[in-house]
Structures are given as structure tokens and as C-alpha cells.
A and B are shown apart, each in its own frame.
Chain A
Amino acid sequence: MTRIANHVRSASGGREQELAEHLASIGRDVSWLREFNWSHDLGIAHIGIADLEERLVEHLSSEPAAAEALGLLREMVEEMGRLRALDVGDADSVSDEAWAAMAAAKGRLHAILADIVRACGALAVDSPLGRSRPDPDGPVADTHEGTSIDSRIGPLLRRMDAIVAALPASVLEPSVGREELGDALERLGSLAAAGADPRLLALLFLRSVLLAVWNTQRMRLKRALGSRLPP
């Protein structure tokens, strides 16, 4: 980790994109990293290396890592509670202050997402499982029936499922959960069959939960406000 950190520290800006480029330059698979639109979609920038390493230690020492990420989920739900407290039912009542509060909430939510993404990146760097992929020519698990996945994955996914089930409909609309998180689970099954680190899967899944929660709230705001929802 120190070597990676030194590299990033010496790079201009010290951003994750450079970390990804470095990992690619030494032959590591970083295709999954690109999915996160590192510094664009989530607005990630100016991440201190000390902070990154501290979070790495935090997440690696938690077993499972989902426990830590669940704390972030709770934090997000609290933010959503503040957002819902705004009187958005009547478009005429939406003041500039309300929009500013929403923008701030969204920024905060993205910061929380960024925390999880950083943890995912850190896990990928140091995960022993990430360094030891299964034989690509070996047998492939049948993820479509959900019966042959590594025994570590099943309990993990059930735990994640329980997290979703525990969320009230006011936070995660059932239709959103069925569709988006079902797709997320299906994708994680494929990643699990390919030998992905269970801790990484947990964090990826929680990231999907966070986005689904955000989409629920955004959908409701849009219903209430029509075209006034900011991009």
C-alpha cells in the first residue's frame, strides 16, 4: 500500500484516476474501477492519502466490511430524513433555501458514496483474494440458478438482502428495490462466480442500495415538483 500511496502522492492532484492508471500499468485488472466514473460522477477530488489509508484499515479490520458501510447507509438515511422534512409537496412552497438544502443534501450523499467507492478501491488494492483470481479456464459456477456460487457469497448476499428488507418504504420504494437491487444482486452473482472478494461485493452492493435510496427520493421529489427538479 505504501508504494501505491507514494505513487499517488507524487502524482498531480493525488486523485483516484491516477491510482487506477498506476494499477493498470502494473498489470492489475482495473476494469471494474472505471464503472464508478471516479472524479466525474461522484465528484471525487482532493482525497488525502492519509485518509485513504485510514479508511483502508477501517474497512479491512471490520468483518464483514458491510458493518462499516451500513453505518454510512444509516447516515444517508438521516440525510434523507432531513430532505423529506422540507415541504416539497407544494411546488409553490419550495423556496431558494429549500433548493439549497436539497443541493447540500445531494452533495453530502455523494460524499458518502465516495467514501464507499474509496473503500472499494482500497480493498481491491490489498485484497488477497483480489491478487489470486481463480483459474480462468476452470469450471464456471452457474450463477443463474444461484446454487453453485462460492459458499462465502450466499450468506453475504442474504445479509445484504436483509439490510434492504429492513429499510422502510419511506426510504426505499418497493418497486425500486425489486428492480434495481435485483439487477445489482444478479450482477454481483456474476462477479462472485468470477472470484471477486466478498468484502468488495458487500461494498458494491451497499453502493447500489445508496443509489436506489437516492433514486427513490429523487423520483418522489420529481413527482411533487415536476420539471423543477434540478439536474
Chain B
Amino acid sequence: MKQSHQLILAALIRGQSFGLEIAERVKSSSNGRHELGQATLYPALRELEAGGLLHSWEEQAPGIRGGRPRRYYSLTALGSAAAMEEREAALGLWGLLLPGGAR
């Protein structure tokens, strides 16, 4: 799975969100180590939705958006399962590492 897809799935574990907020979640939860730019984020969202891992809908939003609604995304059951698989894979790779460092 692409890293951008992993990051989006991880951001949506916290609940539904829209593009701008997803990018902010990724940046803040990774302490700035990971960022999703516009050229990466939106195509990745569409790919994940096309793959059945996300579903989306539009909601009316604040006026500052020029009348454009926000498109919210959330994990589908397939997306949640994929997120769990990614978690297990990460734990397999890093799970033995303790805060004090490698043994």
C-alpha cells in the first residue's frame, strides 16, 4: 500500500473528515514528519474510494469556501480492515523496539 494511502487511513481512524483536515491530522499526529500535499492527497482519496476503502459525501460548509461544500470521507468496513492490517504490519516491524532503544 502506498504511504499516502496508509497516512489517510490512519487519519480517518479518528473519525470522518475532509481533505484539509485530513492533511492537518496527518501532519500533527506525525509531529510534522509526514505531510500530504494537494497533488498527493486528493488523487489518493479518490483512489481509496474507488478501491472501496472509503466512502464520501458532501455537506454544506462555511461561507469562506465560496459556496463549495465540504466532501467528507470515512472508512468503510474494507477500509477499517485494511487499516488494521497496516497496524499489524507496523507492529510486526517495530513492535519489539522499546522507548530506550534497540536491544
**Stretch from A66-74, A120-128, A179-187 at the B interface:** A179-187
Taking CB atoms, residues of chain B closer than 8 Å to A211 are 38-39
**Stretch from A5-13, A47-55, A88-96, A145-153 at the B interface:** A145-153
A226 to chain B, nearest CB (A): 11
Give the A-B pair count, Cβ closer than 8 A.
77
| A161 beta carbon closer than 8 Å to chain B | yes
CA distance A219 to B18 in the complex (A): 19
Give residues 145-200 of A contacting B (CB, 8 Å): 145-147, 149, 157-158, 161, 164, 176-187, 189
CA distance A181 to B70 in the complex (A): 10
Write the chain A residue with the least CB distance to B69.
A178
Give residues 13-64 of B contacting A (CB, 8 Å): 18-20, 35, 37-39, 42-43, 46, 58, 61-64
Write the chain A residue with the least CB distance to B45.
A179
A146 adjacent to B64 (CB under 8 Å): yes
Write the chain A residue with the least CB distance to B70.
A182
A-B contact pairs, 7 of them (CB 8 A): A147-B63, A182-B68, A183-B19, A186-B20, A186-B62, A189-B62, A219-B46
| A37 beta carbon closer than 8 Å to chain B | yes
Taking CB atoms, residues of chain B closer than 8 Å to A161 are 66
Q: Which of B19, B63, B64 contacts A179 (CB 8 A)?
A: B19
CA distance A195 to B58 in the complex (A): 30
Write the chain A residue with the least CB distance to B20.
A183
